[in-house]
Amino acid sequence: MRVVLQKVSRASVTVTDETTGEIDPTFPEQRIGVGYMLLVGVSDADGERQVAWLAHKIANLRVFDDEDGRMNRSIHDVGGAILSISQFTLYGNVRRGNRPSFVAAGAPAHAEEVWLGFNDALRAQGLDVKTGRFGAHMNVSLTNDGPVTILFDTEELGI
């Protein structure tokens, strides 16, 4: 799995109706204040082990400032929330040519199952998790606080 974590002061997502191009009225805008906006990519090799490791690591990551201005507080410590967005393009390969190849991205059914399981694992860590819609065209807005952006790649980490 690949996760891009951005510490945010606010973030939101809307879904675009594929027929009209307007905001989809069946999907209410999802918003968070302080917390993390996560872009989540899944490969076919990903499963419960990667989900459990990432959920634990993200829930306990200390990147929020303490009273001395040091990154020493977790999302729990600041009462933050998570906005989780599925993003297969994190597996885009641009080594050759000018058009990315996405063959390393997980098959949609598998990727959706793993992403949903990841969101549930974050909730099991006691976190408030809001999400986009899997496979939809989404408009994501955020204010990166810091800026703080961290990349997790379970394959690179040997997880």
Q: Which residues are catalytic?
A: 87-89
CA-based nearest residue to 142, from 3, 6, 4, 2: 6
Residue appearing with tokens 């040091």: 70
C-alpha to C-alpha distance for 159 and 155, rounded to whole angstroms: 6
Peptide bond into 108 cis (omega under 30): no
Inter-helix orientation angle 48-60/108-124, to 10°: 40
